[in-house]
């Protein structure tokens, strides 16, 4: 039923925002688009996308390009036939491929009179508040200088503990960091489809999504391709991030001619994930999307209502149980008794302290702990609703 409603809505509604008025756009291009099955770079696709991005720059748009392909380019450069499983080998391939990739970008953009800037990020650059601010300031200044920042995960030093996992999520985080107006994810399929179009060619593309529902999640799957990390599932996660930050997102087939111009001019192409929410403040975007959840605090109905309906801080009296081992200042999830996540926030106590004071009034915290503590477990300014 949900699928039918979405298809019908897309057929009668034009694009819900005037993309022609957008100024700041993040464009993500995936490995499957930039490389052949051999791993070698698809120069025809790269050259065409560079020309289209250069044209958008000429129209006064601020563009950030999140580009995959470093490991794939490294595989092609060395003539390998499979992606290595060992992380050390993938790191080495990224070091080889990243230089090759940025070399092509710099040469091609220079032909159109544009300057590029390479930016390599790891999750630590985003999770740490000061490094997050530094990254944001650097990107915004690069835009002010009129350059085109080209961003990739720093696969040469990334490990499983600090990597983003795929560039779909990275592009969503970049869009929230800079406060973009639109995120465009270019891939090798038309958009979000009712079924996998590689299995069922009759699958229908969903033109419009206004909410990430369980049905939408079920339409997405992983990826079994050698060079790619993500798949539609990671794109849905990216959509959820940006939509909750008041940013629209489009998934479209990057192999189509003039795809970027057609999207910007409002043509109904691909899948539009339309956000009806206002922008979160920068600090709350950082809390909501860049932090690893270190534990869960379960609250009673009174606390749940105070947080979600009244916008209040979390107090110790409303806490019923705690899961995990976290430190003061780390990010935790706040959940109802049924396990539904209500919010995320930066906690003012470590887990051991919190287990001692949960259920007590704020005025009793000093007596219980034996030393002064905060009235709020999580202050409303450090709390983001889910």
Query: Which residue has 């430190």 as its token pair?
Result: 327
| Range in 101-115, 270-284, 293-307 with the lowest mean pLDDT | 270-284
Among residues 218, 253, 281, the one where a domain terminates is: 281
Cα→Cα distances 349→244, 313, 385, Å: 27, 14, 20
Q: What is the CATH number of the domain that holds 307?
A: 2.30.130.10
Same domain, 351 and 332: yes
Same domain, 120 and 217: yes
Question: What DSSP character marks residue 146?
Answer: T
- Are the beta carbons of 352 and 327 closer than 8 angstroms? no
Task: Answer yes or no: is pLDDT of 382 > 90.
Answer: no
pTM, entire model: 0.75
* Pairing, β 271-273 against β 148-153: unpaired
Whole-angstrom Cα distance, residue 260 to residue 270? 11
Give me the domain span that covers residue 41.
2-281
Q: Bridge-partner residues for 184, per DSSP?
A: 27, 250
Q: Is 350 exposed, middle or buried (0-12, 13-18, 19+ CB in 10 A)?
A: middle
Same domain, 56 and 122: yes
- Are the beta carbons of 347 and 308 closer than 8 angstroms? no
- Are the beta carbons of 77 and 98 closer than 8 angstroms? no
Assess if residue 85 is contained within a domain.
Answer: yes
Assess if residue 220 is contained within a domain.
Answer: yes
Count of structural domains, the chain: 2
Assess if residue 352 is contained within a domain.
Answer: yes
Assess if residue 286 is contained within a domain.
Answer: no
Query: Which residue has 């291009």 as its token pair?
Result: 29
Same domain, 98 and 144: yes
- The 3-state DSSP class for residue 150 equals strand
Among residues 281, 299, 319, the one where a domain terminates is: 281
Same domain, 41 and 117: yes
Among residues 247, 281, 315, the one where a domain terminates is: 281
> Which of the pair, 4 or 263, is modelled with greater confidence?
263
Whole-angstrom Cα distance, residue 174 to residue 157? 19
Same domain, 133 and 233: yes
Same domain, 210 and 62: yes
Task: Answer yes or no: is pLDDT of 36 > 90.
Answer: no
* pLDDT at position 11: 37
* Pairing, β 331-335 against β 341-346: antiparallel
Structure tokens at 300: 């009673």
- Are the beta carbons of 265 and 19 closer than 8 angstroms? yes
* pLDDT at position 315: 96
Name the average pLDDT for the chain: 84
* pLDDT at position 82: 74
* pLDDT at position 342: 93
| 6 band by pLDDT with thresholds 50, 70 and 90 | very low
Structure tokens at 112: 């159109």
Same domain, 277 and 295: no
Same domain, 277 and 157: yes
* pLDDT at position 157: 67
* pLDDT at position 270: 93
pLDDT tens digits, one per residue of 94-116: 889 888 889 989 999 999 999 99
pLDDT tens digits, one per residue of 38-91: 767 788 999 999 999 999 999 999 999 999 888 878 888 888 877 777 888 888
- The 3-state DSSP class for residue 95 equals helix
Assess if residue 380 is contained within a domain.
Answer: yes
pLDDT tens digits, one per residue of 136-187: 899 999 999 999 999 988 766 655 543 455 789 899 999 988 989 999 999 9
- Are the beta carbons of 119 and 113 closer than 8 angstroms? no
Cα→Cα distances 251→47, 61, 263, Å: 20, 19, 10
Q: What is the CATH number of the domain that holds 122?
A: 3.40.1160.10
Same domain, 329 and 204: no
* pLDDT at position 75: 84
Same domain, 307 and 275: no
Same domain, 99 and 204: yes
């Amino acid at each position: 039923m949900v699928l039918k409603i979405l298809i019908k809505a897309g057929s009668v509604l034009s694009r819900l925002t005037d993309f022609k008025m957008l100024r700041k756009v993040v464009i993500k291009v995936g490995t499957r688009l930039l490389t052949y099955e051999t791993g070698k770079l698809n120069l025809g696709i790269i050259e065409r996308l560079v020309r289209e991005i250069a044209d958008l720059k000429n129209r006064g748009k601020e563009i950030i390009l999140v580009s995959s392909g470093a490991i794939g380019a490294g595989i092609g450069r060395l003539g390998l036939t499979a992606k290595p499983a060992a992380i050390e080998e993938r790191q080495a391939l990224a070091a080889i491929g990243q230089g090759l990739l940025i070399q092509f970008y710099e040469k091609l953009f220079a032909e159109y009179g544009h300057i590029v800037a390479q930016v390599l990020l790891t999750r630590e650059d985003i999770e740490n508040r000061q490094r997050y601010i530094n990254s944001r300031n650097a990107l915004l200044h690069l835009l002010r200088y009129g350059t085109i920042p080209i961003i990739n995960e720093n696969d040469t030093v990334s490990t499983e503990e600090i990597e983003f996992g795929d560039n779909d999520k990275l592009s969503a985080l970049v869009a929230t960091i800079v406060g973009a107006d639109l995120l465009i994810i270019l891939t090798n399929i038309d958009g979000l489809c009712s079924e996998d179009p590689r299995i069922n060619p009759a699958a229908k593309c969903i033109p419009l999504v206004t909410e990430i529902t369980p049905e939408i999640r079920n339409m997405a799957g992983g990826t079994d391709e050698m060079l790619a990390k993500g798949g539609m599932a990671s794109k849905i996660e990216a959509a959820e991030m940006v939509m909750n930050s008041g940013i629209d997102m489009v998934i479209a087939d990057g192999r189509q001619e003039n795809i970027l111009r057609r999207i910007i001019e409002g043509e109904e192409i691909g899948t539009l994930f339309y956000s009806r929410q206002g922008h979160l403040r920068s600090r709350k975007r950082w809390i909501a999307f860049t932090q690893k959840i270190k534990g869960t605090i379960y609250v009673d109905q009174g606390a749940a209502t105070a947080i979600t309906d009244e916008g209040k801080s979390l107090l110790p009296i409303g806490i019923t149980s705690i899961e995990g081992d976290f430190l003061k200042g780390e990010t935790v999830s706040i959940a109802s008794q049924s396990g539904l996540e209500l919010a995320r926030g930066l906690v003012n106590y470590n887990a051991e302290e919190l287990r001692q004071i949960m259920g007590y009034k704020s005025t009793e915290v000093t007596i219980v702990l034996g030393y002064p503590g905060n009235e709020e477990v999580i202050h409303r300014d450090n709390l983001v609703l889910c």
